[in-house]
């Protein structure tokens, strides 16, 4: 499918974005191993989070969806039934990597598959620690899905992750729920802590320090009623659009601003964007607020070290901001971008060049000079939701219509993206 985006004048309006993808996955998975019936409100409408629901259904869990609310009939930590077919994680790295942690402790064999993109994404990062805990795993060429897991009795480990990954941290902590004793995960840079926060909501004590988290198994989870805040990574497209399109005024309602995700807001402000957080509150341990953004004079900036890990999902749209800014954007230490839903360094570079924008790439990032103009062009999502949406934002500033090929990819995290965009662009 394709969308044609025409250049926009000012953007205005108040609206919401889907429930946070990371939090939705975690609530569904934890609810499936909790004892009793959990209800999750404002569950993400994105296809990825529905892949998680399909997988837990495949494990014998009764799940019903009413609009944005999901009811999960948890059967306790050992309550999954052996699946009668492959578990399909679709496009979702979070589903396959985090669910593997729960499957490692089950006394049956399961096989996880994914779409073409997920089938190229590395799984050794979870296979290593799960094997150390005692699960038996195999994968295509030793590292790609399909991933087969033969679960069993797990022993706790103290695991230092070689890469900063919340999916890996979560996988090991979820496996640790089954293991008798203390499982500790150490991270080289801080990553999102939604698993730690959610586990506490489900009644599991989690100890955390600077750079480590620890759970004690075997754990028991109590069913909960939960509400998911809006997804800051989805809001990011509109934060950049609202800041970059002159004269704009947008309010994005009830967006999650967990400190381990909110580096985005600080970075945008440091880059010159006028962003404010209003009406803050905390629910289920997760802070949220309304985000107001207005047309701003953008300086640009530099993303490296820990900041690269903290902004990893937002870098495609920040590249668009960089090109429109006065001084441009430099990104380093972001080699993980090459193994996301697509190689996001190449996807950003190809599409910026199609729009006449200069970019130099390196193994772990890129440099985009500032003060550039976006030309009318055809851009290609490569099946990656964040690439499709980032270039829709670029299109708002182009000198003519922009065709976005593969626009349907947005539905992985944000099916309502195109209608929301049309609503604010008038
Ligand atoms: C996520 C962690 C990040 C992020 C992904 C969601 C999560 O991946 O890019 O979109 O929900 O834990 P990594 O763990 O691979 O860094």
Any ligand 1 atom below 6 A from CB of 100? no
Any ligand 1 atom below 6 A from CB of 117? no
- Rounded (5°) CA angle 163-364-369: 140
DSSP H/E element including 65: strand 62-66
pLDDT in tens, 280-302: 999 999 999 999 999 999 999 99
Q: Tell me the H-state helices in 105-189.
A: 124-133, 166-176
Any ligand 1 atom below 6 A from CB of 97? no
Share above pLDDT 90 across residues of the chain, in percent, rounded to a whole number: 99
Class for the domain spanning 21-215: alpha beta
pLDDT in tens, 51-110: 999 999 999 999 999 999 999 999 999 999 999 999 999 999 999 999 999 999 999 999
Q: Which is nearest to 40 in space by CA: 269, 280, 223?
A: 223
Burial of 107 (0-12, 13-18, 19+ CB in 10 A): exposed
Alpha carbons 174 and 162: distance in angstroms, whole number: 18
CATH of domain 2-19+229-425: 3.65.10.10
CATH 3.65.10.10 domain extents, the chain:
2-19+229-425, 21-215
DSSP H/E element including 114: none
Any ligand 1 atom below 6 A from CB of 24? no
User: What residues contact 67, with CB distance under 8 A and at least 6 apart?
Assistant: none
Q: Looking at the predicted structure, is the pLDDT value of residue 382 above 90? A: yes
pLDDT in tens, 154-195: 999 999 999 999 999 999 999 999 999 999 999 999 999 999
Query: Phi and psi at residue 167, in whole multiples of 5°?
Result: -65, -40
> What pLDDT does residue 234 have?
98
pLDDT in tens, 258-278: 999 999 999 999 999 999 999
- State the average pLDDT over residues 201-226: 97
420 close to 15: Cβ distance less than 8 angstroms: yes
194 close to 232: Cβ distance less than 8 angstroms: no
Distance 79 CA to ligand 1 centre (A): 27
CA-nearest residue, atom 13 of ligand 1: 165
Query: Phi and psi at residue 398, in whole multiples of 5°?
Result: -80, 170
> What pLDDT does residue 308 have?
97
Whole-model pTM: value is 0.98
pLDDT in tens, 6-35: 998 999 999 999 999 999 999 999 999 999
Distance 193 CA to ligand 1 centre (A): 11
Q: Looking at the predicted structure, is the pLDDT value of residue 344 above 80? A: yes
Any ligand 1 atom below 6 A from CB of 50? no
> What pLDDT does residue 269 have?
98
Which residue from 47, 52, 161, 165 has its CB within 8 A of the most atoms of ligand 1, so it is best to mutate?
Answer: 165
| Positions marked catalytic | 313
Cα end-to-end span (Å), the chain: 22
Q: What is the mean pLDDT of the chain?
A: 98
């Amino acid at each position: 499918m394709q969308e044609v985006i025409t250049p926009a004048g000012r953007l205005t309006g108040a609206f919401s974005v889907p429930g946070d993808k990371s939090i939705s996955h975690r609530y569904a998975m934890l609810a499936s191993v909790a004892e009793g019936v959990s209800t999750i409100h404002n569950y993400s409408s994105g296809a990825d989070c529905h892949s998680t629901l399909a997988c837990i259904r495949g494990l014998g869990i009764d799940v019903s969806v009413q609009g944005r609310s999901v009811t999960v009939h948890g059967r306790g930590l050992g309550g999954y039934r052996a699946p009668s077919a492959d578990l399909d994680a679709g496009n979702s790295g979070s589903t396959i990597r985090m669910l593997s942690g729960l499957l490692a402790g089950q006394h049956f064999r399961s096989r996880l598959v994914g779409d073409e993109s997920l089938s190229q994404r590395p799984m050794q990062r979870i296979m290593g620690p799960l094997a150390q805990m005692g699960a038996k795993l195999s994968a295509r060429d030793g590292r790609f899905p399909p991933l087969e897991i033969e679960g069993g009795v797990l022993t706790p480990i103290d695991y230092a992750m070689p890469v900063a990954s919340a999916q890996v941290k979560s996988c090991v902590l979820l496996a640790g729920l089954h293991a008798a004793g203390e499982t500790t995960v150490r991270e080289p840079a801080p990553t999102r802590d939604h698993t730690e926060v959610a586990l506490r909501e489900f009644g599991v004590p989690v100890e955390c320090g600077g750079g480590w988290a620890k759970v004690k198994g075997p754990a028991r989870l109590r069913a909960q009623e939960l509400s998911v805040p809006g997804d800051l990574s989805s809001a990011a497209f509109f934060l950049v659009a609202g800041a970059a399109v002159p004269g704009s005024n947008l309010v994005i309602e009830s967006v999650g601003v967990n400190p381990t995700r909110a580096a985005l807001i600080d970075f945008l402000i440091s880059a010159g964007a006028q962003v404010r957080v209003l009406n803050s509150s905390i629910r289920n341990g997760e802070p949220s607020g309304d985000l107001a953004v207005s047309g701003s004079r953008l300086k640009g900036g530099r993303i490296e070290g820990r900041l690269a890990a903290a902004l990893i999902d937002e870098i495609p749209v920040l590249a668009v901001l960089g090109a429109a800014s006065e001084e441009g954007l430099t990104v380093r230490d972001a080699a993980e971008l090459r193994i996301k839903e697509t190689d996001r360094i190449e996807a950003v570079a190809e599409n910026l060049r199609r729009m006449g924008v200069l970019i130099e790439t390196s193994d772990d990032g890129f440099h985009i000079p500032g003060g550039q103009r976006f030309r009318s062009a055809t851009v290609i999502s490569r099946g990656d939701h964040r690439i499709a949406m980032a270039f829709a934002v670029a299109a708002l500033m182009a000198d003519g219509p922009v065709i976005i090929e593969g626009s349907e990819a947005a539905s992985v995290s944000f099916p309502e993206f195109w209608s929301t965009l049309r609503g604010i662009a008038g």
